[in-house]
Structure formats: structure tokens, C-alpha cells
Structure 1
Amino acid sequence: MVKKPSYEELEQRVEELEKEATKLKQSDSALKESEERYRAIVAAFDGLIYVCSRDYRVEFMNDSLIERTGYDATGELCYKAMHELDSVCPWCVNEQVFRGETVRWEVQSPKDNHWYCVVNTPIYHLNGSVSKQSMILDITNRKQMEAQLRNAHDELAQQVKERTAELVEANEELKQFFQTVTDAIMLFDAGTRQFIDVNEAALSLYGYSREEFLKLRHQNITAEPENSDVSIRQTLEGKLVRIPVRYHKKKDGTIFPVEISTSMFTLRNRKVLCGVVRDITERKQAEEALRLERDNLRNIFESIEDGIYIVNQQYDIQYVNPVLVKDFGSYEGIKCYKYFHDRDEICTWCKNQDVFAGKTVHWEWYSFKNERTFDLIDTPMTLPDGTIGKLEIFRDITERKRAEDLVRNLSQMLMQAQERERQMISYELHDSIAQNLSTLKIDCNLIFDDQPAISHELKVKMAKHSNLIDQTITAVRNLSYDLRPPALDEMGIVKALEIYCEEFSENSGLKVDFQSAGLHSFDMDSNTEIHIYRLVQEGLNNIRKHADATQATIKLVGASPNIILRIEDNGKGFDVKARELALSNEKRLGLRSMKERVNLLQGQMTIQSRPMQGTKIFIKIPFKERKSEPEKEHINH
């Protein structure tokens, strides 16, 4: 018979059961909390998660993996769902995991060729079974970056190798350059001033052997120790890199000028100064010779009667000799256009740019400032700073220009008087002599009308005299027309030239083509008209006498403010330069006379010709409008 428990025992048992129930509740709560935490971790995990059983069946897939594979493969074989394989993956680690190991590894999936980092851990169930949990991260980008990094590392290693070889080669080249450069190069300790190394040029320049030189200090080669110390301190402070002139001494005591370029660098934790030294003895001698030459040139400039000034490319006056200072005043700090022309901007006619480009320009200039005319020669010159400036020579030609104007005016008056005389003779020939001859011809024709007894021989003789008188009348009228063409006064220059060219063509057999244009608005003065007429006359007569031409062309064009006359032929041509040189020795006045007429009209005449290629004469005359002139008596021919 079983003994019944006592009340105390029952009460104690109830308390134990309550404690166990409390523990179970706490365990259940902790388990739920752990499960919630696990679910939160799974939900927050950015990668892929799946769980499979020992027989490779998928038990769980998170949303990311479902999205990646395209469906929920729960219940399917993991190697089929994950990698589309028909058998267990050759890299499978399930056995290790089911033995309780956590396995971390990386794999490239044959399904999408992506790389993944996989962490496999065992999961223990309450029923005692074990599953495998795989947490997967796509590390394709990292793998690509690692590959790129490896490639970059390999490339860098190759570049370092190549650069090292280049540096070794450059070091050898630098050593060779150091020894072969023509300037002396010296390295010395910045603290002790002891020479560390020198090149062959330094040994040759100073006269020491290498062993002797490397025992010296900097003060042993300088003839200016105090100045040299200052320069060394400035170099150490980074303030000095070039010393234009310093005096050094050689082993034999010779003092000579040098130019020094300095630099500083650190070698094995000590400061080293490098000096590149160039012997400038010859340059100093050349500078001294140049200074003497410049002084001599200045003395010439100071004593010459012509004005001289020098200007730079910024139009700043660099020098003015006393002649110009006397005429234009002090020049310091003044631009050339202000000094000579009282202008505040560059002159529109300025020749500076042509001169700075290397051209020499010869021209004339009238100064309104002092009412003088100058003949100017502008030529490029090198200024002390190495830039190109302009040297201009002024020659006062005011009196010469006045004399030329006087000669021109006198010549103009002489030609006008000549034309008036020709006109008077022309009128006299036409109105008097020609009329008298006409009357005489009529009388000769009528003298035997009432005398039938006159012999036939006498009548024939009288007829011959009548014909001679008729020829004389024609010659007198032609001479009258040549002296003063009546068409010029009655019909103007264009019609007069047209008639003359037609008559010349008929009389000479030379085909003459006359053309005119643009003259309808030009009311030329009579002086210009007669000169143009005479130029055409002289031009055609020259062609008839000397050109052996078959055709000539006369073109008269009004191109305001000028009148252009062109005379061309297809004749044998000539050497223009040779003809101009021979003009002074020849008696022929054709071309010379034409030039003088053009000069009187203040025009320009240019001749183009080559042997067997004809001749072209271009004449440009400034247009002068007709002034009010007193009416003249014109004869009606």
C-alpha cells in the first residue's frame, strides 16, 4: 500500500511545479524574443538567405533570394534551384556544416557568373534535427575592383620598374651632361663652403686639378668674398637664383667676370649649393665696345643737322636729338603722337607697324605744329632691351618744297602762256592766212574766165597753182587744229579725243580704240583738259614713231577724286629701267615731256613694259574743278 504524501509535501511539490512553470514561461519568452530578433536580422540582411535540410531540400528563402531566382523554391533541391545543376555542387560544404562547423567561402555561380561570399552555419531544431543556413552576399563588384586593383598594381609595378630604369639611365646622362657641359658647374656644402664636386669645365676655367679643387672652399675662388657671402645667404633664403656679374679668380691669380646661376637642394640630410658659372669676359668686352659705339653714335646724332628720334613699340619716345628738341621741345614721358602732332591717340597715317615688321619707309610729312615740311626715313633698330624700335631721320625740306612749288608754278605759267600763244597762232592761221589763201584760190580759179584766148598750157599751170594753194590751205588748217583743237573748246575733252583718235587712226594706219567712262559728273578746268589732250597726242605719236605697234588703246576714266588715263599698245616694248637711265642722254623728249606734264598736274605716271610685250602707261591726275573763266571767242570751223 502506497503511502499518501503529506500536506507539506504536496505544498512543496506545488511550489516546485510553479517554479518550473515560471522557468518555462521565461524560456518561451526568451525563445520568442530570439525568434523575433532572428526574423528582424533576416529581414534587414541586404544579401540572400536560404535554409536547406540534410537531404538538400530548400526549407526557406528570403524575399531577396526569391526575387533573384524569380520564384520560391521551397521544397526543391538547393543545387537545382540555386545553380541549375542536376547533382550536388562539387564545392558543397554541407557535410562540414552538419558536423557543427561554420564555413565561410567564395564561389562563382555558373548560373549568372556572379561572385558570391557565402557563410554557412548549422541551425539546430527543437526536435533534434539540423539544417544548414546560407547567408550570401553578391561580391561581383568587389571582385572586379580587386581584379582592377591587381591590374593597376601590376601596371604600377611595371611603371616603377621602367621608371627606375629611366632614372638610372637619366642619372648616367646627367653625369655625362655634368662633365660635358661647357659652363662650369660646382657643388659645395652650404655650411662649410667645401666643394663636393666640380665638372671638367670648372677645372679648365679655374686651372686646378680635381684633387686640388675638392680641397678648396668657396672663398678660395671669389675675388669679392663679402658680396659672395651675401649672395650665398640670399640663395639659402630662396631670394636669389641669378647673379649677373661677379668677379672670380683663377689659380694663377687672374681676376675675370662671371655670370652665376644658383640653386639649392638637400643631399643626404645636408644642404648643397649648386653654382653654374659662365665666363663673360668676351661679353663684357663686347658690351664695352658696344657702349663706345653707342657713345660715338650719340655724338653723331647730337651734331648732325638732321633731326633724329627713337621710339619703342609702345610709342614711348626713347631719344630725341637737339635739332628736334629745338623745334618740338622736351620729350620725356610723352608719346610720339602727342609730341609731334598734339594728338591723344595713334595717328591714322602711322608707319610704325610697318617699321616694327622690318620695313624701311621713306615718306614726306608736313608739320602743322611748326609749319615745316620734312623728308622722313623710318628704319627698324634693336633697342637695349632687345625689342625692335623705330629710328626716324628728319630732314627739313621746306625751302626745297617751296622752290619746287615755285618751279612748278612757273612751268605751269609757261605752258599756259605757250597754249595761249598756240591758240592765238591757231586763230591767226585760221582767220587770216587760211581765209586769204581761200580768197587767192577763188581768184586763181576765176582769173581766166573772160579770156578765151589764153593757151591751154597756161590754164594747166594755173590749175596746178590752184591745187598747191588748196594743199596749203589744208596744211594751214591742220596746223591750226594741232595748235589748238577747236573740238576741245566746243565739245569738251571726251569728244575732242574721240575725234583726234579717229583722225590719227586714218592718217597713220594705226588702229586706235578710245574708251571713256565716269566723266559725265566731272567739270574739268581748261588747263587740265588741254594737258590730258597733249598727253594723248604725245603718247600716240610715241607709239607711231617707236613702238612698231598695230593697235593702241586709250582709256580715260573719272574715279573721284582722280582722273585716270591709260595708254596701251601691242608694240615691241622696251626695258623701262634702262630707258629711264638713258632719258638724260637722249634727245627724244616724248616720255620726259609726258612726265613733266603729269608733275605739273601733281599727278603720278607709271610705265609698264617688257621687250616684245607692248607698253602700258598709267597716269593718275587729281581732279580740279573748272573755275569761272572769262568767255572766249571761239571760231566756228
Structure 2
Amino acid sequence: MTKKPSYEELEKRVRELEKEAVDRKRIEEELRIKDSAIASAIDGIALADLEGNITYVNDAALKMWGGDDPSEVLGMSALDLAQSREEAEEIHRVVLEKGGWSGEMAGFRKDGSTIKIHFSASLVRNEQGEPICLMDSFIDITERKKMEEELLIKDRAIASSLQGFAITDLEGNIIYINDAAARMWGTDDPSEILGRSALELAQSHEEAVKVLHEILENGSWEGEIAGKKKDGSLIIIRFSSSIVYNDKDEPICIVDSFVDITERKRAEEALKKSEAELRQLSSRLLQAHEEESRRIGQELHDGLAQSMVAIKVWVEAALLNVRQENPAGVAKSLETVVPLAQGAVEEVRRIARNLRPSTLDDLGILATISWLCQEFERMYPGIGIEKQIEIQENDVPDSLKIVIFRILQESLNNIAKHSQATLVRLSLKETDSNIELTIDDNGAGFDMDHVLSGELSERGLGLASMKERAELPGGSFSLVSQKGAGTTVCASWPIH
């Protein structure tokens, strides 16, 4: 017969049942709260059986997938939602073996589009330690990864750009430069310049400070500025700078972009100088043309015209003697006319030779050079000429003959007027690819910078004229001179 419990035992049992009911209610409330928390979590949360078949998804997970009803995805294999089935199977194996896995992976949405997630999976065990299911949580990082990829592309584009890029703090201290900027400065290692003040790299610290103030005040600046390279040499850059602001519209740094225009500026300066020289040369050439016309006119007036007047007078005298039937007077008049006419002919020939020697057309450049040298030595007996001709007449193009003659003529005139030389060495030869003319003297020489700078002097005009003559047919011209060391003129033309 079973013993009836005592009142105390019954009271104790009631209290135990009441406690169990309270504990159960508390646990149920905690589970309800956890279920609500999981269901309303921003992160996607899913449960799957040990084979990976989905048994639960919260609203966030369903939304990430692109579904409207959990039934659309329940029962599906989570492995089928991965972009790479092989990768998903490997993650599933690791979770079962090691109890968890975390990392980034790519999957498919309901519409087939790609989604990238940060994924954490863990093995859920019961009180006995036995695995009962899988719990997954994930965050949609598709947009973040897209932004990262875009930033990476931009970063690589900036890093590999031929244009220089730099980032500085608001005080002008360099915190980033790309490879092009480093090369412009003269280094292959950007770390050599990081941390330095960009103001130190400007040729004018005062100008750099002014530019920085304008950037900070106006938000940007653009223009040309001169700087110093690592080796101290000059660099001129086209510089654009602007302030970078954060989401709160607060300035955080300065970004600079620049292009090396040093060679372009040098070319512009050379072009300006060349244009100025060309204007001076044109002016002097017009002046020289007028002077030459006046000289020729003077020679015709003083020489040929006088001879013709004398011839006219004696011819008239001869005619008068004819009318007076004075044969002796006629003979005397005509005898006087003959040398006058001969002198006039010689005067015409001399003027013609100065304008263009007939030997150039009749006998060629080699004979003309010999004639010019003989005339020079006759006029300036204190200056000797050593000739070295190593070319055949037929090897000199007709178009170059007058060019060679005029350069030689101008060089000899300069030597006679300015050099105080006693010896001239003349060389005209043919190499494998060029025709080369060299005129070298042992005279006093001159300061090239002084003669070639400023307005063109008479000598400067002659040099400019020779250079232009040499270069017009596609040749090159060089002149080397030093005080006390003579002068060397060299012109060269390619053989076509």
C-alpha cells in the first residue's frame, strides 16, 4: 500500500512545480525575445540542417536573396546559392569538422544577380554536445566591394599615370606621391619625399607659400610654377591643386596634379629667341640688300658710268675729226676709246663676279673655290690658305654649290676683317653619309656668348646668314670659337 505524501511534501512539490513554471515561462520569454531579435536583425541569419538544407531565414536574409516569402527558400540547399559550388562544399566541410568558418564569398540572388557577403557559419550542438544544425549569419557587402574595386582601379590609375599626383595635409606636408611624381623629382623611391613639405620643393618659397594660402582660401589653384629636383636642377610644372572635403564638408587634405613642362618652356623660349633673331635678321637683310644696291649703284656711277662718259666724249671727238677730214685726230680718239672700253668691260666682269662668279656655272664649285682662295691671298698676302679637297665635282649637288661658295665667302670675309689670323685651313670632303665643309683659322677668336647675344652685329648677321644658308637645304651648321684659340666653322649636308 502506497504511503500518502505528507502535507509538507505536497507543499514542497507545489513550490517546485511553481518554480518550474516560472523558469519555463522565463525561458520561453527569452526564446521569444531571441526569436524576435533574430527575425528582426539587420544581419541575415539562417539555419540549416547538417546537410546544408535551409530550415529558417530571417527577413533580412530573405530580402538579401530577393524573395518575398520564406517558403521560397526553405528546403533549398544553401550550397546551391553559392556562386562557386566547390567553394561552398569546402566551407561546409570545414564547419562540420572545425565547428565554424568566417570570410567573404559570392552568391546568387533569386534573379540570378551576384551578391557578395561577409559570411559566418557555426555548428550548433545540443546539451549532449551532439551537432544538430548549422547557424549562418551574413552581411551584404556588395556595394562596399564595388566601392573598394572602384577605389582600387582609381588608385592603380593614379599610381600608373604619366601625370604626377600628390596628396598633402593642410600644411603642405606630402603624404602620397605616385611613381610619375617621384620620377619628375628624380627618384625611383617615393619614400624619399614622403613627409617633406611641398613648399621646400619650390624654387621660390615665398611663391609656394602664396599658392598654399590661395588654395586654403579659394579651395583650388592652377598655374605654372618652378621647382627644384633632387639634384637641384630646375623643373617647371603645370600645377593644379584642390582641397578634398569629408562628408561634413570639412577640409581634410590637398590633392595636386602636375605635368613637367620644362622642355616645352625651353622650346617656347628658344622659339621666342629665334623669332626675335629672325625679325632682326630680316631687318638687317633688308638693310644689307639696300646697302648692296647702293654699293653697286655707286660702283656703276663711279666706275662704269665714268668710263662710258669718257668713251662718249672721245667718240664725239672722233666724229668731229671725221667731219673735219682729220684722219690723225680720228685715229687718236679711237685709240683712246679702246682702253676705256676694255676697262669698262673689266669693271662689268668684276661686279658680275661679286654678284655670282661665272666660274661657278662654267667650271664648277672646285674651280671657284680655287679662284676665291687665290683672290683672297692676293688681296691679303699675310694670310695663307691650306686647301684639302676630297670630293669630285659631280658629287656636289648643283643646289649646294652656291651655298658652299657663300658660306666660304662669308667666312673668309670675317677672317679678313676680325680674326688677325695668318693661316686658314679649308676642307671640303665627302664622308659615307655627308658632304662636310670646314673652315678653321689660327686667329684671335672671340667670345661667342657676347657676339651671338643681343641684337645682331655685322658679324652676328653674317653668322646667322651662314647658319640659315646651311640649314635651308637640310644641312647643319656649327661654329666654335674661343678667345686666343681661333675659330672653326663647320657645315654638313646629308647625301641623298
Report the TM-score when normalising by structure 2. Answer: 0.38
Point out which structure has higher relative CO (alpha carbons under 8 A, 6+ apart): 2
Structure (1 or 2) with the larger CA radius of gyration: 1
